[in-house]
């Protein structure tokens, strides 16, 4: 079974064609600058080198058409024609409280996703465009929506309600939703398999540390708390996002800068976090280099980031009343032994002990704690596309 996984952003589109017989990636790529000058597709067919093709993509319709043309092309195609695509899995950012699981897309589902647009105005409309264009270009091919928020729908009210007038929740749907759910679900399941255990037997804390970063407390397979909130701006200090701040800062800062609240939120989203603290460095590799070169801003930024992660792990160890496994994932979590070791230095009181040699390795799934560490600490590469494809296969076959 071939499944096309689509992740449609406002001006970009990522895709993977996955052969579910052996869960291998047949082709993948990225369309960039959709709706702008200079739009192009970067396409990797199978094991071949990636190819960049400049192609006008005024809308997502042309972008998806270009993707389908690449997949079926005479020279670099990987399938004969579109009939080889058995189903399409779409990443959808926000499912609100309507979707606690992935679902086969029909008109009612599309309408329900539309109702969540106001909760994720930058993302959901783009996801819906992807769904509608695929429906048009591949009529009759079953499609599945996989939501970033769904995994966290198991959180109890004590974790998802804010201390606001109840009206905010009841009338305006303001609550903690959490994001990166597909990654947290993949990693929490996969780390259990890797350790030869069942997810239902473990208390796990997943640290998804990328440009966007969030932490999730997973109690016996279910998300019970997570650091992102009503939006992905909350929680940890991130690449360009502030994470948690005193909400009163917003008005104060907007007044001082003579900007609107909307502009101030933009500052929190795009100009804050690690980039804000260092005058523009958001890439962890640059920050690590600056740290070792003695750059004071980089030192502070890295210290703040690792301290933040450690504080959330501590909070979630309390929420779970203990922790069996800590799993690091995403760009920073998978690649930065420096960040992992700095975070784990704070966790000695939990009995965490890191094997420095193991932690310096790079690669696939690995354990970086010592055999006598009270908590097993692992590095697990995330794979949201595969999770989406697995859900799609399961639902379509059912
Ligand atoms: P997102 O999907 O949120 O954009 P990623 O999961 O791709 O983010 O992670 C991007 C982050 O991973 C960047 O901050 C980058 O610096 C970091 N990263 C990638 N490779 C390395 C590395 N070798 N060492 C340290 N950090 C790395």
Residue 67 CA to ligand 1 center (angstroms) comes to 26
Q: Tell me which residue of 271, 253, 269 sits closest to 261, measured CA to CA.
A: 253
pLDDT at 390 exceeding the cut of 90: yes
What tokens does 316 get? 């979630």
Residue (of 148, 310, 152) closest to 217 by Cα position: 152
- Confirm whether 148 is a catalytic residue: yes
pLDDT of residue 122: 84
Task: Give the residue, out of 331, 337, 361, with the most ligand 1 atoms within 8 A of its beta carbon, to mutate for a pocket test.
Answer: 331
Å from CA of 281 to ligand 1 middle: 12
pLDDT tens-digit series, residues 115-170: 999 999 889 999 999 999 999 999 999 999 999 999 999 999 999 999 999 999 99
Q: Phi, psi at residue 392, to the nearest 5°? A: -60, -45
Predicted model pTM: 0.96
- pLDDT for 9 equals 86
197-379, superfamily in CATH? ATPase, nucleotide binding domain (3.30.420.40)
pLDDT at 207 over 90: yes
pLDDT number for residue 10? 83
pLDDT in tens, 306-319: 999 999 999 999 99
pLDDT above 90 (res 271)? yes
Distance of CA 344 from the midpoint of ligand 1 (Å): 19
Nearest atom in ligand 1 to 283's CA: 16
For residue 208, the CA-to-ligand 1 centroid distance in Å is: 11
Question: Does residue 363 surpass a pLDDT of 90?
Answer: no
Domain regions of the chain by residue span: 2-147, 197-379
Alpha-carbon span 282 to 274, nearest angstrom: 5
Does residue 76 sit in helix, strand or coil?
A: coil
Mean pLDDT of 349-358: 98
Nearest atom in ligand 1 to 282's CA: 14
Distance (Å, whole) CA 6 – CA 13: 7
- Amino acid 26: pLDDT: 97
Measured in Å, residue 329 CA sits from the centre of ligand 1 at 10
282 Cα to the center of ligand 1, angstroms = 9
**What per-residue string of b and e applies to 196-226 under the rule 16 or more CB within 10 Å gives b?**
eeebeebbbbbbbbbbbbbbbbbbebbbbbb
pLDDT score, position 168? 98
**Residue with the nearest Cα to atom 1 of ligand 1?**
211
**Rounded Cα gap, residues 63 and 59, in angstroms:** 7
Atom 13 (ligand 1): residue with closest C-alpha? 283
pLDDT of residue 130: 94
Mean pLDDT of 99-126: 95
Give the pLDDT of residue 148.
97
Choose the catalytic residue: 148, 219, 225, 391.
148
**pLDDT computed for residue 336 by the predictor:** 97
As a whole number of angstroms, the distance between CA 250 and CA 96 comes to 25
Q: CA-to-CA distance for 263 and 95, rounded, in angstroms?
A: 26
What are 19-37's pLDDT values in tens digits?
999 999 999 999 999 999 9
Q: What is the pLDDT of residues 369-381, one digit of tens each?
A: 999 999 999 999 9
Q: Does the domain made of 2-147 have the CATH classification 3.30.420.40?
A: yes
Answer whether 330 contacts ligand 1 (Cβ < 6 A).
yes
Is 197-379 in the same CATH topology as 2-147?
yes
The residue written with tokens 């996002």 in the block is 241
Q: Taking all residues of the chain, what is their mean pLDDT, rounded to a whole number?
A: 97
The answer to whether the CB of 337 is under 6 A from ligand 1 is no
pLDDT of residue 83: 95
Mean pLDDT of the 332-345 span: 98
Nearest CA to ligand 1 atom 22: 335
331 lines ligand 1 (CB under 6 A): yes
Ligand 1 near 211 CB (within 6 A): yes
Nearest atom, ligand 1, residue 284 CA? 16
| 32 Cβ contact partners less than 8 Å away, ≥ 6 residues apart | 11, 12, 39, 40, 41, 42
Q: Which of 130, 147, 142 minimizes the C-alpha distance to 68?
A: 130
Q: Is the pLDDT of residue 65 over 90?
A: yes
Contact 362, 335 (CB under 8 A): yes
Is the CB of 127 within 6 Å of ligand 1? Answer: no
């Amino acid at each position: 079974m071939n499944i096309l996984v689509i992740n449609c952003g406002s001006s970009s589109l990522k895709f993977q064609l996955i052969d579910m017989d052996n869960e291998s990636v047949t082709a993948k790529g990225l369309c960039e600058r959709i709706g702008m000058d200079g739009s192009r597709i970067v396409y990797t067919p199978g094991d071949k080198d990636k190819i960049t093709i400049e192609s006008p993509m005024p809308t997502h319709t042309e972008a998806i058409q270009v993707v389908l043309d690449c997949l079926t092309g005479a020279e670099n195609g990987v399938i004969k024609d579109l009939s080889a695509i058995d189903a399409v899995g779409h990443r959808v950012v926000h499912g609100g409280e309507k979707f606690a699981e992935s679902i086969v897309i029909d008109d009612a589902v599309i309408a329900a996703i539309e109702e969540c647009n106001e909760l994720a105005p930058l993302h959901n409309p783009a996801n819906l465009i992807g769904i509608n264009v695929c429906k048009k270009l591949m009529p009759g091919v079953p499609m599945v929506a996989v939501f970033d928020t769904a995994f966290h729908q198991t959180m109890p009210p004590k974790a998802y309600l804010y201390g606001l007038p109840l009206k905010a929740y009841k009338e305006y749907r303001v609550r903690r939703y959490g994001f990166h759910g597909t990654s947290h679900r993949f990693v929490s399941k996969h780390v259990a398999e890797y350790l030869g255990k069942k997810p239902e037997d473990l208390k796990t804390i997943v640290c998804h540390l990328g440009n966007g970063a969030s932490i999730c407390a997973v109690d016996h397979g279910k998300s019970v708390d997570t650091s992102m909130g009503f939006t992905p701006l909350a929680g940890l200090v991130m690449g360009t996002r502030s994470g948690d701040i005193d909400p009163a800062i917003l008005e104060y800062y907007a007044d001082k800068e003579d900007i609107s609240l909307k502009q101030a939120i933009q500052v929190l989203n795009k100009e804050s976090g690690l980039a804000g603290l260092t005058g523009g460095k958001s890439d962890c590799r640059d920050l690590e280099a600056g740290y070792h070169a003695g750059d004071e801003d980089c030192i502070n930024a890295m210290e703040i980031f690792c301290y933040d992660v450690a504080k959330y792990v501590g909070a979630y160890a309390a929420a779970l009343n203990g922790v069996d496994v800590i799993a690091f994932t995403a760009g920073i979590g998978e690649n930065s032994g420096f960040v992992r070791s700095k975070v784990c230095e704070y966790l000695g009181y939990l009995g965490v002990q890191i094997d420095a040699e193991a932690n310096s390795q790079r690669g696939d799934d690995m354990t970086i704690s010592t055999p006598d560490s009270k908590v097993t600490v692992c590095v697990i590469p995330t794979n949201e596309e595969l999770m989406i494809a697995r859900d799609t296969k399961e639902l379509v076959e059912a």
